[in-house]
């Protein structure tokens, strides 16, 4: 089981096309803190990171709202 698998499983269960999660919400699901790199949009947009595999596998793409430490996961059509 990968570190971001709990996030993937959570997103897969969602019926909404947009899921709004705080950093704290994500950390609770992961059972660990997000890395400091998560404060950068590039970490969320990375195609190569193991973290991005979690939301891609669940069919979502993230949008970082750094000021409020939130991430909007939007379902990808297709």
Q: What token pair was written down for 69?
A: 């430490």
CA distance 5 to 26: 11
Give the confidence band of 78 by pLDDT, cuts at 50, 70, 90.
low
The DSSP letter of residue 68 is: G
CA distance 15 to 30: 20
The string of pLDDT tens digits covering residues 20-62 is 999 999 999 999 999 999 999 999 998 888 999 999 999 999 9
Return all residues near 52 (Cβ < 8 A) that are at least 6 apart: 44, 45, 46
Tokens 């698998």 locate to 5
């Amino acid at each position: 089981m990968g570190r971001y698998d709990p996030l993937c499983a959570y997103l897969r269960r969602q019926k909404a096309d947009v899921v709004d999660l705080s950093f704290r919400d994500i950390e609770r699901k992961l059972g660990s803190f997000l890395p400091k790199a998560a404060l950068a949009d590039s970490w969320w947009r990375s195609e190569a990171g193991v973290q991005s595999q979690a939301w891609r596998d669940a069919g979502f793409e993230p949008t970082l709202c750094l000021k409020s430490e939130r991430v909007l996961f939007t379902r990808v059509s297709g």
